[in-house]
C-alpha cells in the first residue's frame, strides 16, 4: 500500500496518509537528539514524494525549531502547504517563569497557537492537539477555546494526546452535546510493547469513531530489529534516556523478529503492520533522524500479516490492564451468558449455577 492510499481520520472529512511523518527529531535543539536542517528536509521531501500528506509536530519539539524548519520548507516550496495536513500541539511552556506560557487555558492556547502559526509561516493548522492534560484548567474552557479557534478558521480539527480516558470522554461528550467541535483523533503511545491504551482509550475511540495516531510505534526503537538479548546498541539516542529493553520485552522482540524472518521482511515493518491491523483507524507516526530510518519504516506498508501471525504477536504481547479491564473477559461472558453463545462469543457456565428450568 503506497502512502497515497489515504484514510479518513476519524469521524471527519480529513484524508491522511496511512503513516504520518513525525517531526519531533527535526532540529538539533536541545541536546543534539535531533537531526540537522538538511537531513530534516531530505526526510520531508522523501515522505512527500511518495504521496505522504500528514506531518505532525509540536510547539515544544526542539524548542520550536521543528516548527520553524517546517515553516521555512513550505515557504520555500509554494503550493505544497495546502496539499499537506499539518498538525501541531499545544501545552508545552517555552517561557521559563511565565505561568501562562503553557497549559490549556484560553489565554495560553491562543498565545501558543499564534506563536506556532508564526513559526510555521501559515495562517491555519489542519489539526491541533492537546499535548498533555492540564489539571489546573477546566476542560470546558479548553474545549470552548478550541471551538472558537475552529470557528475563526485558525484550526480545522482538534484531538487529544496523553490525556486520561475519563477526561477525554468528558471533553468529547461535552463538545457533542453543546454543538462544539468534537475530537476526531487521539495521539497515544501504542505498540506491541505498549498496549495499555487497550484498556480504556482504544475502546472509547473505536466506539466514537475517533482515529488512533500512535506515537513511538516502535517503542523507542526497541522493535526496530537492532536490539538483541545480551548485546548493547550504541546507535540509539533514546537508550541514553530510557535504557534498553527488559527481559520480558525481549520475548516480544524475538517473536517479532521470527515473524519478520518468515515474511523476509524487517522487525520494524512487522511491528508497524501489526498496528495497522488493529480495529478502527490507526495511523502510526513515523519518527526518523536519518533518511534510511524513514525508508525502512515505510516497508510496513507492504507487509500483510496472516491471522496466525497476528494471533502469535497478540499472545506474546498481551498486556496487563488496570481494573476493571480484567473483569471484562471470560468472567463477564460466564456471568452474562451462562453457557450460551452470543454474537459469536462462547461462554462457560458459572460453577454455582445448576442447569435447570426452575425460576424462583
Q: Give the active site residue among 47, 61, 190, 227.
A: 61
Residue 325: Cβ-neighbour burial (10 angstroms; 0-12, 13-18, 19+): middle
Task: Confirm whether 128 is a catalytic residue.
Answer: no
Q: Which helix (H) or strand (E) holds 120?
A: helix 106-120
What angle in degrees, to the nearest 10, is found between the helix axes of 267-276 and 247-263?
90
What would the DSSP string read from start to end of 166-206? HHHHHHHHHHHHHTPPPEEEEEEE-BTTB-GGGTTHHHHHH
Phi-psi region of 227 (alpha: psi -120 to 50; beta: other; left: phi over 0): beta
Phi, psi of 88 (to 5 degrees): -140, 175
Rounded distance, CA 279 to CA 35, Å?
Answer: 34
Q: Are 3 and 18 in contact (CB under 8 A)?
A: yes
Q: Kindly provide the residue ranges of all beta strands, DSSP E only, lying in the chain, ordered along the sequence.
A: 7-8, 15-16, 20-22, 54-56, 85-90, 125-130, 155-161, 183-189, 211-215, 285-287
> Strand 7-8 to strand 125-130: parallel, antiparallel, or no bridges (unpaired)?
unpaired
Q: Which of 240, 257, 131 is nearest to 189 (CA)?
A: 131
Q: Which three cell numbers stand for residue 324?
A: 476493571
Active site residues: 61
Amino acid at each position: 500500500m503506497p502512502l497515497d492510499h489515504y484514510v479518513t481520520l476519524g469521524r471527519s472529512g480529513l484524508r491522511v496518509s496511512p503513516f504520518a511523518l513525525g517531526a519531533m527529531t527535526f532540529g538539533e535543539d536541545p541536546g543534539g537528539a535531533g537531526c540537522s536542517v538538511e537531513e530534516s528536509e531530505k526526510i520531508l521531501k522523501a515522505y512527500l514524494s511518495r504521496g505522504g500528506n500528514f506531518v505532525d509536530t509540536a510547539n515544544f519539539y526542539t524548542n520550536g525549531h521543528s516548527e520553524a524548519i517546517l515553516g521555512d520548507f513550505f515557504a520555500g516550496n509554494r503550493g505544497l502547504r495546502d496539499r499537506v495536513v499539518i498538525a501541531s500541539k499545544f501545552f508545552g511552556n517555552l517561557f521559563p517563569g511565565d505561568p501562562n506560557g503553557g497549559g490549556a487555558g484560553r489565554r495560553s492556547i491562543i498565545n501558543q497557537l499564534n506563536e506556532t502559526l508564526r513559526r510555521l509561516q501559515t495562517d491555519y493548522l489542519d489539526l491541533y492537539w492537546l499535548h498533555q492534560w492540564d489539571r489546573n484548567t477546566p476542560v470546558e474552557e479548553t474545549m470552548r477555546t478550541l471551538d472558537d479557534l475552529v470557528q475563526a478558521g485558525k484550526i480545522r480539527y482538534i484531538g487529544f494526546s496523553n490525556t486520561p480516558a475519563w477526561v477525554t470522554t468528558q471533553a468529547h461528550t461535552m463538545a457533542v452535546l453543546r454543538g462544539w467541535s468534537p475530537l476526531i483523533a487521539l495521539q497515544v503511545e501504542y505498540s506491541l510493547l505498549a498496549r495499555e491504551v487497550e484498556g480504556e482509550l482504544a475502546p472509547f475511540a473505536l466506539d466514537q469513531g475517533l482515529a488512533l495516531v500512535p506515537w513511538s510505534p516502535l517503542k523507542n526503537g526497541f522493535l526496530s530489529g537492532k536490539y538483541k538479548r545480551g548485546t548493547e546498541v550504541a546507535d540509539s539516542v533514546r537508550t541514553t534516556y530510557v535504557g534498553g529493553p527488559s527481559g520480558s520485552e525481549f520475548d516480544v522482540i524475538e517473536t517479532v523478529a521470527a515473524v519478520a524472518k518468515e515474511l523476509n521482511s524487517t522487525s520494524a515493518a512487522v511491528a508497524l503492520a501489526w498496528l495497522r491491523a488493529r480495529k478502527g483507524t490507526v495511523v502510526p507516526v513515523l519518527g526518523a533522524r536519518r533518511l534510511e530510518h524513514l525508508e525502512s519504516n515505510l516497508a510496513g506498508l507492504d507487509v500483510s500479516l496472516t491471522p496466525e501471525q497476528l494471533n502469535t504477536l497478540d499472545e506474546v504481547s498481551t498486556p496487563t490492564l488496570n481494573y476493571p479491564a480484567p473483569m471484562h473477559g471470560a468472567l463477564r461472558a460466564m456471568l452474562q451468558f451462562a453457557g450460551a453463545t452470543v454474537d459469536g462469543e462462547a461462554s462457560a457456565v458459572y460453577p454455582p449455577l445448576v442447569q435447570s428450568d426452575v425460576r424462583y
